[in-house]
Amino acid sequence: MGTVSGRVGGPVGGYDISATVENGVITGRIGGMVFGDDINLTYSIEKGFINGRLGGAVIGKDVAGYLISNSLSARLGGAVDGKNLELEANNNSVYGRCGGPAIGFDVQIDFLEGQAVGRLGGEVVGKDVKGYVTDVEPIIAGALFAITYYVYQVNHQGSSSGGASGRN
């Protein structure tokens, strides 16, 4: 059984991930017990797919895409409110983009001796990745960290850090 665990973002402004990967099934949790989403995904590198659900059966986001050993192309969420996730794996690194060229974030994660470190987003706006990976392909682990930041962004849409929200 493989595991992916860690944090995207710092101790205050970030999300945890804890997932198990076994026989093509990924289960776990992104975020905390109250604010966050369950992970229920299946995948097969041999058959070339990844699909499933983030969150619950009613309130959640679908995941559907194509997968090979060093490349992933998936849709997170719906046709209107979702984002594309495009990742490549090369040696011990996973890189790519979630979202479009203007609205989205870059992915750059390095894996070495069971640790994952990297950045999601840019130099100024974005979140650091610090995690641990055991017996999981880098492309899958990289996707899980990118999905964690996607869930964080979805769950914090419309939140304001400046006091008044402008809503009546």
DSSP one-letter string for the chain? -EEEEEEES-SSS-EEEEEEEETTEEEEEEE-SSSEEEEEEEEETTTTEEEEEEE-SSSEEEEEEEEETTEEEEEES-TTT-EEEEEEEETTEEEEEEE-SSSEEEEEEEEETTEEEEEEE-SSSEEEEEEEEES--HHHHHHHHHHHHHHHHHHTTT--SSS--S--
Task: Give every CB contact of residue 156 below 8 A, 6+ residues apart in sequence.
Answer: none
> Scanning the structure block, which residue is given the tokens 């994952």?
116
AA letter at 14: G
Please give the pLDDT value at position 158. 58
Residue 159: per-residue pLDDT: 54
More confident of the two residues 126 and 123: 126
Structural domains of the chain, ranges and CATH numbers in brackets: 2-155 (2.40.128)
161 pLDDT band, cuts 50/70/90, is very low
| Greater model confidence, 125 or 4 | 4
Tell me how far CA of residue 102 lies from CA of 30, 83, 96, 106, in angstroms.
Answer: 25, 12, 14, 11
pLDDT (tens digit per residue) in 86-120 = 999 998 999 999 988 778 899 999 999 999 999 99
Question: Mean per-residue pLDDT for 10-38?
Answer: 89
- 47-72: pLDDT as tens digits: 999 999 998 767 789 999 999 989 99
pLDDT value, residue 43: 97
Residue 131 has pLDDT above 50, yes or no: yes
Find all residues with CB under 8 Å of 86, minimum gap 6, and list them: 72, 73, 96, 97, 98
- In the predicted model, what is the mean pLDDT of the chain? 88
